Structure formats: structure tokens, C-alpha cells
Chains A and B, each alone.
Chain A
Amino acid sequence: MKREKPSKIVIASCCIMGAGQLLSKQWIKGLLYLFIFAAYVTYMVTSGMNDIKGFFTLGTVRGDAWLGIQGDDSIMMMLRGIFAFLLTAMFVALHISNVKDAKGLAKRLEVGKELPGFLQATQIFLDKKFYIVALLLPVIGVLIFNVLPIIFMILISFTNYGGDIVPPELVDWIGLGNFEKILSLTEIKDTFFRILSWNFVWAFLATAVNYFGGLGLALLLNKKCVKHKGFWRMFPILAYAVPGFITMLAFKFMFSYGGPINYYITMSGHSAIGFLDIDAGWTARIIGIAVNAWITIPTSMLLATGILSNMNTDLYEAASIDGASKWKQFIKITLPFVVFSTTPVLITNFIGNFNNFGVFYFLRGGLYNDGYFLASDTDLLINWLYNLSIDNNYYGIGAAISLIIFIITSVFSLLVYVRSDAYKKEDTYR
């Protein structure tokens, strides 16, 4: 049987995907590569090239529905452009793998080894590289539905999209224009820092209240004198199970002037309290923290319960013998144990609270305070973003601000995460 020269195989694969494999009679593999190659080329010719071009121009024809001119949809073009880039990146990766594969084949042929059959090779791959197989689908899903929108949003922050510039108007790339605007406009700068500082206070407070609230509840339930633990645990779980938007709407009405709380206050002869009024300030903030606690404490209680059940009770006995008080035992033994074993969860909770959209959107939407640009004094950055980009349509600016927030939060949490015990000891635990 005549074999092709090894170098030829590699060159063939370099030019046309799968050609080398076909030359070395790896039919199935070769055809698969070839098919992908053909598919990609067809895609590029039919729409890919245009999409990439469109990504840079963001459209040249302004649509006019009255005249029947189907104009360019800039935003759609950007999206399709990103998509084309993604596909191209995947194609390049595949092409590299194809060349590597061809090199491998060539090497084997050179030393005269038999080439493995398709089925056999697949089986070996499935087992040896199980992680690739297993992660392929999740990674692709996340890429398309999470990463692509994020790339899209980041790119939007470099355009003038929003305000009057919405389809059918054409959107343009404006470089760092949005960021310059944020830094040069005092209203926006002031609002940004005001909200940022409250946002941090909120995130710390909310996380702490939820965390320790849950821990306290779990400790309480863990006491020896408490019988029927399942019964007591039922109530918080009830709160856990009701969909969040329902409880939030209910709470809003509960704290309004016409709600039951004010009803009882006025019944008892006091004047009604504007819990969520425009000048409510810290009252509204505290109510937000309480409502948030109501919603999240059940989860952290479950978490703490589980952790406490894993604790080594010997430590306590030893401490009791040493005569340490209950409080001291808690501070010295329980707390460190719980905190250290839950750092990643704490970070997730912190970020979750930092970006907690629902609470103040439901409780106190539709208010703007003095000294805030399109925001109220309880709004978190994420609420402000919503006001800017969804309610008021300033999408480009909103995207730019969210990019800034994103950088702050990700740097912060990555630092904490990488320094956490849970991460450091990650490889040594077993």
C-alpha cells in the first residue's frame, strides 16, 4: 500500500482542513474536518464576511419605514459581527487542532506505526479527555448565552447607542466618548460616588445581617432544649419557597400609607409613618435591609445548620473543661470554623447583595432624590443602571458605567477569592 509523504499530509491539512487526514486514509475524521471547512467557508461567503464588515461600519443605510427603505439595524449588525468573530475563533481553534492532528499522523507514519481506527480513537479520547467532553456543552452554552451578551454590552459602551440614537438611527463607534462624559459631568460623577459608597455599605450590612441572622437562627435551633427542630425550621423554609417578586410586592404594600402596618399605627393614635417616602432616607434603607434579610436568612440558616452539624464537638467539650464561657466558645471556636469554611459562599453573597436589583426596585422605584442624577438615595448602582439604560434609554452610558462597576467588583472579589483559605487549600484538601 502506497503511503503519502508525511510532510505532504501536514501541508495538505494546513491548506484544506481534513485533506491530510483523507490522504492518510483517515476517512471519517477527514470527512468531518472537510465538512466543517466547507460549512465555514459557505457561511463566510454567504453572510460571515458581510457580518464582519457590518461590525466595523455598524450600518450605512438609514432605514425609513415610510419610504419602505429597510435600513441597517446597527445593533443587530454588531451582534452578528460578534457572532461571526466567535465562529471564526472556533474555526481557527479547530484548524489548529487539525494541523496538530495531521502532524501526529505524519509522525506515526514516519516511524511506520499503524494509525488507530476512528472508533478506537474516539473511545480513547472519550476516556482520557473526559473533562473536555463533559465541559464542552456547558462551556458553549455559557459562551453563547452569558459571554456573548457581556461582550456585546462591553462593546456597546464604546458606541453612542441610546438617547435619540435608537433604530432606525445608525449607531456609531465613539471610542472612549462615554467614559469621558462620565468623568467630565459632575452630576454623573457625584451620583456615581454617592451611590457607590451606599452600595458598599449596603452590601456589607446586608451580607452581615443575612449571614449572622442565619447563623444565629441555626444556633438557636441547634440547642439541645429545642425539640421538633423540623417544625421550627418549616417557617423560614416557607419564606424561602415563595417567589421573590411576590413577597417584594407584598412588602411594598405593607409599608405603604394604606398598608396594614400604618393602619395599626394610626389605630393606636399615632400619625402614619412614611416608611418609603422620598425623604425617608435611612428608614427606607433599613427596611430594605430587613426585607432582604427576610428573603435570604432562610438560605443562610440552612447553610449554617449543615455546617454546624459537621463540627467537631470534642472542641467544645475541651473548652467547657477549660471553663470557657458560651460566648467565648462561640467567638473562638464556632465563628472561625463557620467563616473559614464558607468564604466562597460569603463572596457570592456579597456580590449578590452588591448587585441586588429587586429589593429597591420593588420597594422604592420611581423616585428621584435631590443631588442624584436619575436615582434615589436608596438606589444601588444596579438600580441606577436600570434607570439610565432601560427607563431613560441611555444605553451606551449605562453600559460604560456597568463596565466600571464590573471592573471594581471583579477585582475586589477575585482578590478576596484568591486569598481565601478555601481557594488556597483547594488542591490539598483530599
Chain B
Amino acid sequence: MGKLKKMAVGVLCASMLLGCVGCGDSKETAGETIVLRILENDTAKKEGYLDALLEAFNAEYKDKGIQAVDANMDEYTDLAANGPYGYGPDVIYQANDKLMTYAEDKHILPIDVESLDCYSVTPEAAWEAFKINIDGTTYTCGIPVNIQEPMLFYRLDMMPEDWESNWDKDGNKVADFFENWNDLYAYSKYLRDTDTSANGDSQYGFMSSLNNLYLNGEFLFSYGAYVFGSNDDGTLNAADIGLSAGDAAKGLMAMKQMASLMNEGCIDDTIIMKRYEKLADGSYFCVVSTPDTYSLFIEKLALAYEAEGLSAKEAEEKAKENLMMIELPGKLPADGDLTKSSDAMTEDDWIDTVVMGGVNGYGISSYTKYKDACMEFVNFATSYEMIQTRMNTLGIAPTRSDVAEASGGVTDMIFESLSEGRIYLMPSIKAVDQIWVPAQSLMGDIAKDPYREAAGELGKYVTIGQLEEAIEKVDQDIYDAIFTLKD
């Protein structure tokens, strides 16, 4: 053995040592100003809301020595992986299910919410989404900002000219097909039947990628299905999976009927990807999407008007005038049969639509050095003015009742739906990660059934019994996914 090897190894050891010694936390010297790193979502950044927020906050808190900056990270950054090592943001804006998985492991701090200005004007249902029970005590770990639920987007200029005479039987100035699903089915069918294009692919009614549980939850949750049941103390019980509960199979039958009026794009993500363009070019009458995509629809619709010869400004104005975002029709048939005419149905034949939704909000990282400053920030960011700016810039539906009321319209309606329980909030526990793939695998397969039958094959889900069996199997699969590998 010779020297060089030894030398090289020596140098290596020494450098490793240095590496180990130097690996301790390099604490930033706080100095005069406290710097808070804020993680917002991409849309807020893109539309300039984040800049407005930071600017307003920094102007207000300059004297107090607090400065907020963009965390400069991916909007879906996993706090659990980065926070403990000092690479996470101080304040994080994400959906309630995501934030609450952090809370389970205490990666975000419990908050004394009563001290916040928005506390009294935010409904209990929204706070509920951020509550967690640890060792018998209930903590609130997030501050609700806005409600996310699937919405229906349509173009005012694509409404049938005769809608007031033919499609508004109750004469309440709201088209029937936006009030109940049977009429939506009927109108979609009408559009399909009168499609005169060569391939019959230029005129669709209601469109949605049905393999998406979140966007199409109404077919389950309106009929009594739930994700996780509750324990006696009100906490969620991951062992009680209830996607097949109640009349869920009937709801799925309704979904299958709806699928038959779309095209194969409803089996995979195609409609999700094409919805902006297809609504803009008029081939889809209405599509399902979330409120935060509002600006994307406007963008594409404006492009379409521009192509018709309008100037960029006119096109955008026209797009804003014509793009409508409403809640999904409020009534589903209790028996799950959309093909029945709504005329023949009485009040008892209907059930309320319950969609799946979520509440986005702020959380404060447990690894922040400036807890109080973070509180100041979230309090500022959920103030009346900022939430209003947020609503106006991003078209979100705020959880603050005062802002929602002042704006009226859809925003207020979404707010009401949340308060009145017509939105099934995504459960805030980790196990919820396991529900998506099994449920969506089945939903896509059910959506395919009409196309199997059209191609002359045998349908897999013809009877309610078959659907029941399939959805029960999904419950079992989810249970297995959660518990098989548990100790």
C-alpha cells in the first residue's frame, strides 16, 4: 500500500468531516426585518394577485419590520418533506385535505383563530374543514380563504333562442336545464339529436371527464354516499368507507346515462383538456370545471372572438360578458333515472345535489421562526379588502360572508351551498389519498359502458345490482389499500 492512496483517502475523510460539521443549521441572522416566505398558488401569481397582496402587506408592515416575499416554490410543495429541514415556506396556501395531512403530523401550527378578524364572518362549515382532533383536544390549523367546488361553465350567447318559452317551464327566468338534471339530460339529448355535422361531433350538451371523482362527486354524494364515516367523538373513521352507502348505485346509473350523451372523451381526461377550447368554439354547451379556471375560459373565449374579427379588447369584454359560471343543477332524480321527463315528477321525486368540494386556506408552518409575524400576515391576507381583491382578480368564491354577500350572484350562492351542506368537503385525513385511483378507475369504466353497448359489446354495468357490486368492490379496495399493510 502506498502513500497516494492514503493521502487521497485522508483528504476525503477530512472533507467529509468538514461537511458533517458544517451541516448544522445555518441560521439566518434576523437583523432588523423579518422576512416571511409566502407560498401562493400559481393562478394567484399569474393574475398578479400575489404581487398586490405582498405590496399591500409590505407597505403596511414596513414600520414593524416585517416583509413578505414570494416563496418561489412549486405550488404543490410538500411541507412534510421540506419543512423539517428548513426548505419550506413560512405561510402556505393549499387545499384543506393537503393542509390537514400536514396537521396530522404537526407540520403546521394550531392557530388561535378567534383572534383573527375573519373569524366571526366565516361560517362554521369552513372552519370545520381545518379542525383536527389530537389526543382529545380539537385544534384549528388553517384559515379558510375560498371554496372550491365543481362549477358549470357556459356561454350566454349559446343559449337556445327559445329557452324562455321552451326550456323554462316554471317561468322563473332560470333555464330548467340549469335547475335539474333531467332537463339537462333532455337538453343535451336534444342537442345531440339535432347535430347535423358530418360526424355528429359539433353539438354536445353537458360535458365532463367522468373519470374524475372530484368533478363528478354529485353522482355519489347526492345519493347518500360518503367517503369516511365518523367515530362517536366526531373524528373521521378511515375504516368506515361509504362510497357505496345509500343509493350510490342509482347515482352511478344516472352518470352512465349522462355519459351516453357525451363522447368517448368522458372516459379519460380528454374533456378536461379540451374544455376551454371546445366551450369557446361552441361545440360543448356547458362543461364542468373549478372556479379557479375561470380566467382560462376567458382567455380562450376571447381568442375565439378575436378570430371572428373583434379587437383584443373588445374580444375580452365580450368574453367576460358571455362566460357564465354557475353551480351544478340543484336537483337530481331520487331514482337515478335522468331519462324521465321532469313534467312527470313531483317534489318528492327529487333530491338535492351534493357536490364534492374543498376549502383552500392558509396554514402556518411549524418550522417558521416568526410565528407572530405569520399570524399578522394571515390576518392581513384574510382581511375584507384583500379577500375582495382576491375575488375580483381570480374569480374565487370567498369564505368570508361579508365579501360573498357584497358581491352577490354566484359567489354568494356557493357560500350558501357550503353553509347549508350542499358541498361535501374533502375529508381532512391522510387516508383520503387512497380513495382517488380506485374510485376513478371504476367511474371511467362505467362511463365507457354506453360506448361498449354502442359498439355491440355487452355492457358491464347494465343493472343497478351490477353497479352496486362494483362500487362495493371499490370500498373494499380502498379499505385494503389503507389497511392491508398496516400493522
Q: Do chains A and B touch in the complex (CB under 8 A)?
A: yes
Q: Which residues of A contact B473 (CB under 8 A)?
A: 370
- The chain B residue sitting closest to A271, CB to CB, is B455
Q: How many residues of B are in contact with the other chain, CB < 8 A?
A: 59
A13 interfacial contact with B, CB 8 Å: no
Q: Is the CB of B4 within 8 A of A65?
A: no
Q: How far is the CA of A181 from the CA of B199 in the complex (A)?
A: 54
Given contacts A132-B5, A187-B484, contact A367 B10 (CB under 8 A): no
B9 x A66 contact (CB < 8 A):
no
A166 CB-CB contact with B under 8 Å: yes
A136 touches B13 (CB 8 A): no
Complex CA distance for A248 and B447, rounded to whole angstroms: 26
Please determine whether A276 and B264 come into contact, CB atoms closer than 8 angstroms: no
Partner of B106, one of A129, A168, A262, A392: A168
Residue from the list B10, B14, B20, B455 in contact with A47, Cβ < 8 A: B20
The CA-CA distance from A224 to B95 in the complex, in Å, is 65
Q: Which of B10, B264, B433 contacts A262 (CB 8 A)?
A: B264
Residues from chain B with a CB closer than 8 A to the CB of A43 are: 13, 17, 20
A240 interface residue (CB < 8 Å to B): no
When chains A and B are docked, how far (Å) is the Cα of A64 from the Cα of B366? 9
Check: B334 CB closer than 8 A to any chain A CB: no
B residues within 8 A CB of A368?
437-438, 441, 477
B49 at interface, CB cutoff 8 A: no
Report A278-292 CB contacts with B as 1/0, cut-off 8 Å. 110000000000000
Measured CB to CB, the closest approach of chain B to A389, in angstroms, equals: 11
Contacting residues of chain B (233-279) with chain A, CB-CB under 8 angstroms = 263-265, 267-271, 273-274
The reply on A219 being an interface residue by CB < 8 A is no
A125 beta carbon closer than 8 Å to chain B: yes
Chain A's nearest CB lies how many Å from the CB of B432? 12
Whose C-beta in chain B lies nearest to the C-beta of A253? Answer: B273
Instruction: Report if A140-B3 is in contact (Cβ < 8 Å); known contacts: A42-B17, A277-B448, A278-B441.
Output: no
**A-facing residues in B459-487 (Cβ within 8 Å):** 473, 477, 480-481, 484-487
- A238 interface residue, CB < 8 Å from B? no
Q: Is the CB of A373 within 8 A of B9?
A: no
CB within 8 A of A367: which of B9, B273, B437? B437
The reply to whether B80 and A367 contact each other, CB–CB distance below 8 Å, is no
Please tell me which one of the listed residues B5, B263, B477 contacts residue A136 in the complex, with CB atoms under 8 A apart: B5
CB-nearest residue of chain A to B367: A65
A87 touches B13 (CB 8 A): yes
Asked if A136 and B451 sit within 8 Å, CB to CB, the answer is: no
Give per-residue flags for A13-44: 1 if the beta carbon is below 8 A from chain B beta carbons, else 0. 00000000000000001001101100110110
Q: Answer yes or no: B344 CB below 8 A from chain A CBs.
A: no
Q: Are A181 and B7 in contact (CB under 8 A)?
A: no
B196 interface hit (Cβ, 8 Å): no
- Stretch from A93-101, A209-217, A314-322, A403-411 forming part of the interface with B: A93-101
28 pairs of residues in contact across A and B, judged by CB atoms under 8 Å: A32-B3, A32-B7, A36-B6, A39-B10, A39-B13, A83-B20, A128-B2, A137-B8, A163-B486, A164-B430, A187-B480, A188-B484, A256-B269, A257-B263, A258-B274, A262-B264, A272-B264, A272-B451, A274-B264, A274-B268, A277-B268, A277-B444, A277-B448, A278-B445, A367-B437, A368-B438, A368-B441, A393-B433
> Residues of B at under 8 Å CB distance from A?
1-10, 12-14, 16-17, 20-21, 80, 84, 105-107, 109-110, 199, 201, 263-265, 267-271, 273-274, 366-367, 430, 433-434, 437-438, 440-441, 444-445, 448, 451, 454-455, 473, 477, 480-481, 484-487
Chain A contacts to B: CB under 8 angstroms: 29, 32-33, 35-36, 39-40, 42-43, 46-47, 64-66, 73, 83, 87, 90-91, 94, 97-98, 100-101, 118, 121-122, 124-126, 128-129, 132-133, 136-137, 140, 160, 162-164, 166-169, 181, 185, 187-188, 253, 256-259, 262, 266-267, 269, 271-272, 274, 276-279, 366-370, 373-374, 392-394, 397
